[in-house]
Amino acid sequence: MRILYKVFVVMMAFVMLLPSFAHASWDDSTKPGWDDEEARKGWIQSKIQHMTLEEKVGQLFMVHVYGKTPTDPNYEDTNLSRNRGAKNFKEMIEKYHIGGVIYFNWTANIGTPIDFEQVNALSNGLQEIAMDQRMPIPLMVATDQEGGVVARVTEPATVFPGNMALGATRSTDYARQSSEIMGMELMSLGINMDLAPVLDVNVNPENPVIGVRSYSENPDLVADMGAAQVEGYQKENVMATAKHFPGHGDTNVDSHYGLPIINHDLETLHEVDLKPFKAAIDAGIDAIMPAHIVVPALDDSGLPATLSKPILTDLLREEMGFDGVIITDSLGMSGANVVPAGRVPVEAFKAGADILLNPPNVPLAYNAMLDAVKSGEISEKRLDESVFRILETKFKRGLFHEAGVSPDAIENIGLDENLALADQMTEDSITLVKNEDVLPLTSEKSVFVTGPSIGSPGMLANLLGERGITADAYASSTSPSSTQIANAVEQAADFETVIVTTYTANTNSAQQRLVSELKAADKEVVVASMRNPYDIMAFPEVDANVLTYGFRDVSVEALAKVLTGEVNPTGKLPVTIPELYPYGHGLSY
């Protein structure tokens, strides 16, 4: 009996040690090459087998954290009070084993103007922390760098005019070159994932959230431009993310603040909305982001695509054959919150998502997922499938071989030749829609520039002055007050020609009143549409209309060149302006 008892004690001791053996520190020294698919998959599966449940669940989350450094003491209270569940990046990684982070300007991760050294050091610091954990797994470091109106990395980096401007050039070469340059510059900062390109087909002039973020209303042009940008990003080893599946182009509701419904039938969905996503899949895209939109033809439950198994699993995975990573749009947006907050990440995951982006309450979301797996609501097999896709994508982009980036890489940002190419693309995109012999401007006429400050009327007046045009400016708010409108009309009295820098004026009655009162004052009125191309729908009687598709400095500079005839406009409308101008319209001097 004594011998049996000793044997029993030894066996029990061995059993108690099994967990520590099973989850022993992982050895990354025998990583296979990417081309050896069988070895790669075996290596990843073995790594997953050594991960704890908490580590696996953590890989599903991509979150934002406030701070300029991994342990920035200036934002500890902010992080804790805003439900980050950790006081800084370092604690977030250690506590939740997160798979990725997302940088924003408003979280102080990226400044405006950008400090290249700071962002590069932040990224490298985060990767060092991640690779120093018990289970070393590199981070996806993401941001929204679409170009144009949505760009986190701006001057002195290379700034591009945006998707619809590229659409106006009709050049897939420009699309590919712009994403290659953006990809290179992002990688130089240690940002290895871009939540771009936008593949929505913008067919609704009242779309408040997509608009110029789309290349066009033409699904074939969107497909061609999008596939070219996917190739450009991923050539630089930046994970590209097509958004917003199955298509956010035909809505007049912003999913940040509401829940849009897309009432396209199945034929329209396949011929229009889904076509660019299929092209991206064929181009080998790494990730696809579903939208917080309801599409009754695909799922009549009333749930947004983010939470829809028929859309994410049945359509995207099985019918369209996408085997990459599905990453949700921000889970803090109103369009996602149609179920209790703690259920949103669980239901998105059950629908087919892999990465849960930006939950508003990190501890709540993480523990909800952990509890769902522990209770059996989500099987560990299903969890492992998503973790595998995430790790494989990281492996594919070389992160397991080298997670960091040299500080010297920032020397590749804002190169003269790239800035010149961005200028050329922008100049080629400027579209002259209407011209009643007002343009180009000549030195014989004095010019007054007014409009919302976001359209940079002061900068435009200065650029005109540099080209010999007598010009003055007055900036208003985006929705000009009655006092501002009166001031603009009064100041315009001494000038012959007025340029109004409008900003989505087709849906802004105050801007419409500004234009109409200037026109009533018997002035030559040139409308420079600094965002969406549809502004002229509200005041077709203006003397001229020029489209920039964006308000960045690069667009304002190109606009000045076109207004003065230094550049002859060649851009072609990528959309129809209903009842006024057809797709493909564009004048030259």
The residue length of the chain stands at 589
Q: Is 133 exposed, middle or buried (0-12, 13-18, 19+ CB in 10 A)?
A: middle
Residue 220 to residues 6, 172, 201, 274, 306: CA-CA distances in angstroms? Answer: 75, 12, 9, 11, 25
- Take residue 511 and report the two structure tokens written for it: 């801007």
Residue 20 to residues 23, 24, 45, 52, 295: CA-CA distances in angstroms? Answer: 5, 6, 18, 11, 48
Structural contact between residues 487 and 450, judged by C-beta atoms closer than 8 angstroms: no
Question: Shortest CA distance to 292 belongs to which of 307, 309, 304?
Answer: 304
| Spatial distance between the Cα atoms of 110 and 63, rounded to a whole number of angstroms | 15
Nearby residues of 407 by Cβ (< 8 Å), 6 or more positions away? 117, 120, 121, 124
Structural contact between residues 179 and 146, judged by C-beta atoms closer than 8 angstroms: no
- Take residue 375 and report the two structure tokens written for it: 């209770």
**Hey, is 230 helix, strand or coil?**
helix
| Spatial distance between the Cα atoms of 89 and 122, rounded to a whole number of angstroms | 10
Triad 123, 127, 128: Cα angle to 5°: 115
Neighbours of 132 (CB within 10 A): 11
Write the DSSP string, 477-493.
-SS--HHHHHHHHHHHT
Q: Cis before residue 113, ω within 30 degrees of 0?
A: yes
Q: Chain-centre distance of CA 5, in angstroms?
A: 64
Range list of β-strands (E), 186-330: 193-194, 239-245, 287-290, 325-326
Nearby residues of 586 by Cβ (< 8 Å), 6 or more positions away? 168, 431, 432, 433, 569, 570, 571, 572, 573
Q: How big, in percent rounded to 5, are the helix, strand and coil portions of the chain?
A: 45, 10, 40
Write the DSSP string, 121-141.
HHHHHHHHHHHTSSS--PPEE
List the helix and strand counts (H, then E) for the chain.
Answer: 20, 16
| Spatial distance between the Cα atoms of 146 and 525, rounded to a whole number of angstroms | 32
Nearby residues of 564 by Cβ (< 8 Å), 6 or more positions away? 440, 441, 464, 467, 468, 469
Catalytically active residues are 256, 329
